[in-house]
Amino acid sequence: MLVVMRTDATTAQVDAVCDAIRALGFTPVPMPGEQRTAVGLIGNDGQVDGAHIGGMGGVAQVINVTKPFKQVSREWKPENTIVTIAPGVAFGGNDIVVMAGPCSVENEQQILTAARAVRAAGATALRGGAYKPRSSPYSFQGLGSKGLELLALARRETGLPIVTEAMDEAGAHEVAEIADMIQIGARNMQNYSLLRTVGKIGKPVLLKRGMSATITDLLLSAEYILAEGNPHVVLCERGLRGFDSSTRNVFDVTAIPVVQRASHLPMVADPSHGTGVRALVTPMARAAVAAGADGILVEVHPTPERALSDGAQSLYPDQFTKLMLELRTIAEAIGRHVAPSPGTASVSVG
Ligand code: PEP
Ligand code: MN
């Protein structure tokens, strides 16, 4: 339930509504806005009989939040949430943020070459895994702490903010010290203790949709993070398990506008894991931007044939450069803009 206060409501009237919510056994969450204050009610996942609150002084409207997810819903907050990960790098506005880089950080030369290449092509952020969730325990598991140090070095060299994955609670604290945005991977989307941990840490989170998760599951996972007081969450479509082996996953482009209608959180897409096939990444990246994604995540490797993970879906740097040019044109066509690399003036087409 959400209680919308009148624009002229007094602090005492807002306090009285909070008391009434407490008397019902729930927690009030006052949300002062530019136009008016709203008071959300959390602590329940069903209907609340708050009819009497509608008649209280200063109350404009009582909205029943019908969805199982509350704080992430557009009913709760109609305007887009803007998630800023570094000065001038924000998701959820008109800019489309491009996060690019290798699947894994492999060594200093590889990550610096990749970072310089994606920066030169105009990427907004650098991605790269230091802690890697691999299906097989015998596959390369990432460089761990050393990988985080190399990401920090790449950021110093290029100015690009860093997006990198945390796999467990201890790791989340370590990753948070270096990363500008903590990625929670598809396999951990429903690791609720990890979600609570990154909620408490408070840094921006990139939450990837589980490979068999519904959109409601994804939004409920985001709710865990917001419920701990961290509103800086960006959601990501990365493909679902399907029956057709032509692609690694089934890239659910529809999820982009579906999530954006249901939630105020930014929604990005990852056509690399979404398809698993290099030749399909560019068409699906174009589709994601055309569908309204607030950003994309693309794997780019200086030498994909030698990559220690996900080489088959990694773009060569020149393919990424071409993709960036195309994305700028598509963005302009829908009245948007590809976010400039930090420290550069924005580039306009035409
Ligand atoms: C990744 O981004 O490299 C990754 C492991 O992604 P996902 O969790 O979507 O599989
Ligand atoms: Mn990968």
Ligand with minimal distance to 236 CA: 1
In the chain, what are the domains?
Answer: 2-63 (3.30.70.1140), 83-338 (3.20.20.70)
Give the model's pLDDT for residue 100: 98
Residue 298 near residue 322 (C-beta atoms within 8 A)? no
From 163, 187, 236, 297, give the residue whose CB has the most ligand 1 atoms within 8 Å, as the site to mutate.
187
pTM listed for this prediction? 0.93
Ligand with minimal distance to 238 CA: 1
Q: Whose CA is nearest to atom 1 of ligand 1?
A: 103
Burial class (CB in 10 A: 0-12, 13-18, 19+), 34: exposed
Give the model's pLDDT for residue 46: 67
Give the model's pLDDT for residue 32: 82
Residue 30 CA, ligand 2 centroid: distance in Å? 40
Residues 6+ positions from 79 with CB-CB distance below 8 Å: 264
Reduced 3-state DSSP string for the chain: CEEEECCCCCHHHHHHHHHHHHHCCCEEEEEECCCCEEEEEECCCCCCCCHHHHCCCCEEEEECCCCCCCCCECCCCCCCCCEEEECCEEECCCEEEEEEECCECCCHHHHHHHHHHHHHHCCCEEECECCCCCCCCCCCCCCCHHHHHHHHHHHHHHCCCEEEECCCHHHHHHHHHHCCEEEECHHHCCCHHHHHHHHHHCCCEEEECCCCCCHHHHHHHHHHHHHCCCCCEEEEECCECCCCCCCCCECCCCHHHHHHHHECCCEEECHHHHHCCHHHHHHHHHHHHHCCCCEEEEEECCCHHHCCCCHHHCECHHHHHHHHHHHHHHHHHCCCEECCCCCCCCCCCC
- C-alpha 223/C-alpha 219 separation (Å) is 6
Q: Whose CA is nearest to atom 3 of ligand 1?
A: 103
Residues in the chain: 350
Per-residue pLDDT of the chain (350 residues; tens, 9 = 90+): 899 999 999 999 999 999 999 999 999 998 887 778 899 988 766 677 788 999 999 999 998 887 888 999 999 999 999 999 999 999 999 999 999 999 999 999 999 999 999 999 999 999 999 999 999 999 999 999 999 999 999 999 999 999 999 999 999 999 999 999 999 999 999 999 999 999 999 999 999 999 999 999 999 999 999 999 999 999 999 999 999 999 999 999 999 999 999 999 999 999 999 999 999 999 999 999 999 999 999 999 999 999 999 999 999 999 999 999 999 999 999 999 999 989 875 544 44
Residue 120: name the closest of 152, 160, 153 by CA: 160
Give the model's pLDDT for residue 43: 78
Residue 309 CA, ligand 2 centroid: distance in Å? 6
Residue 209 Cβ inside 6 Å of ligand 1? The answer reads no
Pairing of strands 95-101, 295-299: parallel
Residue 240 CA, ligand 1 centroid: distance in Å? 12
Ligand with minimal distance to 309 CA: 2
